[in-house]
Structure 1
């Protein structure tokens, strides 16, 4: 199999499990000697988009920036893993078209579940009016209409979700199956 880079875009509400699952997928891919770079939404905001707020316009700019960086990585045979809420469908579709190979992973969890998992207390702050434009509270999240992969983290645990993503990437022939890696090694 000829290897090529691709963008693996994790989207979902805060607390759904995007970062945890994307980190686990990255570890699995690195174990297969795949070149991987993670673009986590919180980290990118700190280093690339710190001047942006959380209005729709600012969120769209942030997502486009992440998409641009991911496309640069993927066209240079790197697997660009993005873990960002990216709440708006239209901008996710824009970034889909920036990369030749794009896989959208919807990390699905209800708002109630995400609030229960919220170790940082962000949902409580948003409900108290101390955080504006918080996705799911006073700012919308538009679920993907046809993502390539759905991990419902209310039904699947972290390991099952990671395995589901890896299996789908094998089926799409973006990565070699593990026995192919062993046979070549």
Structure 2
């Protein structure tokens, strides 16, 4: 196996970015050429080009997928931390990205709200933010994930160990470990 793309999907506040950062550090320690694409950071950098409606979220996912594909072609393993709320997005990822690995970061909405440092859920409940996944827009539960973790029931370390175990098998096939 050459390079791969690991896509963390889940609600805002589920722990995608935290786990993605841990995976990035782990892969760097294994001397992998790796790049993390955090959906929030990419969105921040490109400004208000894309909104939060379904069609806009799909376009944003296409941008992340294209970046991952281009980086993979240059020999870089890519980690994406982005909600990817619709099965349509995740299926397109699986079809268009070689060596695609999907990590479903499950978390109760209650825990996501408790962890919400940006207070997006509160704003959504007050009507100040529209199209909030988990509030007034649906998160379609993944059916074809490669690894599922539940950060409501597991510590970050327990969740990461599940991911690491799966990735180690990939690296062994690749001949990196």
| 2:98 equivalent in structure 1 | 100
Structure 1 unpaired stretches of 5+: none
- What is the alpha-carbon distance in structure 2 between the residues aligned to residue 50 and residue 24 of structure 1? 29
Report how many residues are paired.
175
- What is the alpha-carbon distance in structure 2 between the residues aligned to residue 164 and residue 92 of structure 1? 21
| 1:89 equivalent in structure 2 | 87
- What is the alpha-carbon distance in structure 2 between the residues aligned to residue 34 and residue 159 of structure 1? 21
Structure 2 unpaired stretches of 5+: none
SS in 2 for 1:97: helix
Give the TM-score, by structure 2 length. Answer: 0.94
| 2:66 equivalent in structure 1 | 68
- Compare 147-156 and 162-171 and name the one that shifted more: 162-171
Note if contact 1:37-1:78 (Cα within 8 Å) is conserved in structure 2: yes
- What is the alpha-carbon distance in structure 2 between the residues aligned to residue 63 and residue 84 of structure 1? 8
Note if contact 1:6-1:75 (Cα within 8 Å) is conserved in structure 2: no
- What is the alpha-carbon distance in structure 1 between the residues aligned to residue 24 and residue 159 of structure 2? 13
Give the TM-score, by structure 1 length. Answer: 0.90
Structure 1 segments of 4+ aligned residues over 6 angstroms from their partners:
none
| 1:21 equivalent in structure 2 | 19
Match of 1:54 among 47, 52, 55: 52
